[in-house]
Structure 1
Amino acid sequence: MAGVVATLSLQVAAKLIGSADLGNPIAPVTLEKVVRIAAGTDALGKADVLWADTRTIAASSTENLDLAGALAGLLGGTVTAAEITAIVVVADAGNTNDVVLFGAASNAFNGPLSGTTPKHALGPDDVYLATNKKGWTVTPATGDILLVANSGSGTAVTYSIILFGRTVAA
């Protein structure tokens, strides 16, 4: 079956180290989560849309990623998503300004965020990962623009983005 097969992994290994008279107490925290995406559109956790790119935005500029019919597909054609199931964005470590996601002035796709003009800023070398096996609805012509902006003047920003989704609602 045609579609997307992927594994998204999150691993956190952290320690809180304190100080005390007779030693340094340690509180370990670990968390691991694997999200698997299977090929298809007929059920939750499946996808047939995959789009990825590394992009640069000029100083004080924005770009609109149209999720319903304007992005060039990786294997040809155009991406026309009915739902987005995962978003991965990595801001380049060499950026000076932030990469700002979401909050388009019109026809906004705000995915996991709520409100009229929500935004999420990624500083240099920051990572944004959001998943939703049920999918966030993409509505052509009224809710399909994923805004990406450069937060400031003076320098461009570079980022890598991967979008997963379905061409039909599951």
Structure 2
Amino acid sequence: MGLVSDLGVSVSGTLTKAADLSTPADRLAWRRGLHLESGTGAGKADLRFTDTRTLAASATEDLDLAGVLTDAFGAALTFVRVKGLIISAAAANTNNVVIGAAAGTPWATLLNATGTITLRPGATLAVMTGAADATTYAVAAGTGDLLKVANSSGGTPVSYDIVVIGSSA
């Protein structure tokens, strides 16, 4: 089984301002992308986890990146390196989705042990490594492998989509 992945982020827009005889424009077309071939070295990935998940009001969950998550075919995934992470909070959420700061064995290479990122309704977090980065975001099974996701408040559930792309070595 092979995995070929393309991740990307782009921003485009035109900023204008009326002047006396013209309307000057500043155009932006900025893109960053990552292509990963199948494998485990730099510029390669062999594992992918995707899911749409829902947390009850005030609930939290720890996603174990080393041995508990399963792929689309039911095979257990043990990430050793994460090369791309995308988490998108549903636009219909009332509460925020908070990422990071698991109480025990937190996956700390992205946010440190206690750091968090708050995704407001409709917000998306996307992180990708460089193709030549052999270190990437390491996962340490049993000591640094839990990615905490939390519903910021009571009253209503939250939903989110998650994509994790990485390698088994």
- Decide: shared fold, TM above 0.5: yes
Could you say what secondary structure the match of 1:161 adopts?
Answer: strand
AA partner of residue 126 (structure 2): L
Match of 1:146 in 2: 147
Name the counterpart of 2:166. 165
Q: How far is 1:3 from its partner? A: 3.0
Unaligned runs of 5+ in 2: none
- Give the aligned partner of residue 64 of structure 1: 62
Conserved? CA contact 2:7–2:128, under 8 Å = no
For 1:72-123, what per-residue CA distance to the aligned partner results, in whole angstroms no more than 9, with x for missing partners? 2322221111111110111111011111111111100134223x30001111
The unaligned stretches of length 5 or more in structure 1 are none
CA contact (8 A) 2:4 2:36 kept: yes
1:44-98 superposed Cα distances (whole Å, 9 cap, x missing partner): 1101110100000011110000011111232222111111111011111101111
Match of 1:10 in 2: 9
Q: Cα deviation per residue 1:126-163 (whole Å; 9 max; x = unaligned)?
A: 11110124321111111000000111111111000010
Structure 2 residue aligned with 1:128: 125
Could you tell me how far apart the structure 1 residues matched to 2:39 and 2:93 are?
A: 36
Aligned residue identity for 2:79: A
- Partner of residue 115 from structure 2, selected from 113, 118, 136: 118
Separation in 2 of the partners of 1:143 and 1:107?
A: 5
User: How many residues are aligned here?
Assistant: 165
Q: Does 1:87 align with 2:85?
A: yes
Counterpart amino acid of 1:40? G
* Aligned: 1:36 with 2:42: no
Percent identical residues: 36
* Counterpart contact for 1:84–1:111, Cα < 8 Å: no
* TM-score calculated relative to the size of structure 1: 0.90
Distance in 1, Cα, partners of 2:168 & 2:158: 30
Matched residue type, 1:127? T
Q: Is the 8 A contact 2:62 2:147 kept in 1?
A: yes
Superposition TM-score, scaled by structure 2 size: 0.91
